[in-house]
Amino acid sequence: MRVNILLVLLCVTIPALTLRAAERPNILLFFVDDMGFMDLGCYGSDLYRTPNIDRLAAQGTRFTRAYAAAHVCSPTRGALLTGKYPARTRVTDFMKGHERPFAKLLVPDWTMGLPESEMTLAKVLVPQGYAAAWLGKWHVGGSALSHGFQAGEQKWIHNRKDEPEDVKGAFTLNAEAMAFIEKEKGKPFFVAISHYSVHGPIRFEPGLRDEYQKIIDEKKPLQTNAGYAAMVESLDESVGQMLDWLQKQQLAESTLVIFTSDNGGAESYTNNAPLRAGKGTLYEGGVRVPLIARWPGKVAAGKTSEVALSTIDFLPTFAALAGAAVPPDVDGVDVTAVLKGAGSLERETLYWHYPHYHAEKPSGSILKGDWKLIEWFETGEAELYDLAKDVSEARNLAAEEPERTAAMLTELREWRKRVGAQMMTVNPAYDAAREGEGPPKKVKRKEAKAAKKEKEKNE
């Protein structure tokens, strides 16, 4: 009798396990460097041609309130890998950050490289039978291999002589992704194609830039950088190649495809309007990013969602889809229900912490529903915006809404205490006349270059 009962249990359990395995998706992540919210046709660009990414949006759901965990790359990458706020991991700036020896505040001794002790996406997914690769830009210290991935080596980076001939190596990364998936055939996969595009310096196919310049001269669009436009188009073509390959391999139906960016667009190359500012600032142009999800039959096609999502949500969501436990101290939440069409999340608050100098001075931010507050660390002053009525953050309501401002400031400061956020301290070497200067070595290099130019001019 006991044997018969065991046989019955096995007959019930094995199909259930098989069903769960069959429901687990492959995950393909296109993680773009510095792509702004307005850098795609499907998000409103009147210049950039992105038919393949637009097709992805038409086949899936486009999120209009997706946020990067930081306004620069390394902290956002660390947040994606761990599901934690940068303030918690203390990876709060890009490697190696900006030095300001004469600034008003001293930058804390932050973690310049994600500790290998952190539980990463790879360490969560691989034990569940996933093959995991991180291909392309890494930029969080160490390597993808040292953080649990089975493939992934940053072979080049911006401005290197060994950069591939194809624009920013986009098609080279595709080839690596295809080879990895073929090699691990039979296993569910997580593959991140972490693009070097569209970060500067600008690269483009010969002739394409001139084509865009003609369009700019004739139509006077919002965005006006022809070289950048050409680079965006090349990125789009590479995305199209990868999507077509998935279809040919009969993997499209079983693959969750995510397309997003590590921070907002750089104002030196693109225009994020109607969003304010761009990369390096906590205004919407610096942290609101494109996010598209496609999973045929699971993620609604042709839908737009206004639910506020964050980079920190990827790990808990992917863990849930893989049937894995979510590690402790994760700040993100499982947004599977939102991907499948739910119109809201219980969470209504997101936070940012940037105790560094960059395009703007050090600051922190809290987003609560439609209300957003930015705190400036040098002065303690706050700005308050109602994004539902003022997405461009043109009207600071802090003086008109003193109670709300005080409450949100208190909540932001309490959050910093909870996550152990590092704070800045007063700089005894502060020099108002020199506070904008960078590291001494860079200053000397600039002075030397200026002297050389002056000498050449006089010769």
Any idea which of 58-62, 107-111, 126-130 has the lowest mean pLDDT?
107-111
Question: How confident is the model over 358-409, as pLDDT tens digits?
Answer: 889 999 999 999 999 999 999 999 999 999 999 999 999 999 999 999 999 9
Q: How far is CA 22 from the centre of its chain?
A: 29
Burial 39-53 (b: 16+ CB within 10 A, else e): bbbbbebebbbbebb
Alpha carbon distances (Å) from 12 to 4, 8, 17, 18, 150: 13, 6, 9, 10, 34
The token pair at 298 is 């699971």
From 239, 179, 338, select the one nearest 30 (Cα to Cα): 239
Query: What digits encode the pLDDT tens for the residues 201-215?
Result: 999 998 999 999 999
d(CA 292, CA 303): 10
Tens-place pLDDT, residues 271-330: 999 999 999 999 999 999 999 999 999 999 999 999 999 999 999 999 999 999 999 999
pTM for this prediction: 0.91
pLDDT higher than threshold 50 for residue 410? yes
Higher pLDDT residue, 443 or 343?
Answer: 343
The 10s digit of each residue's pLDDT in 314-329 is 999 999 999 999 999 9
Only one residue has tokens 């993808």, namely: 144
Sketch out the chain's domains with CATH numbers: 25-346 (3.40.720.10)
Angle 195-198-204 from CA coordinates, rounded to 5°: 105
Above 80 in pLDDT, residue 8? no
Cα 439 to its chain centre, rounded Å, is 27
pLDDT at residue 95, rounded to an integer: 83
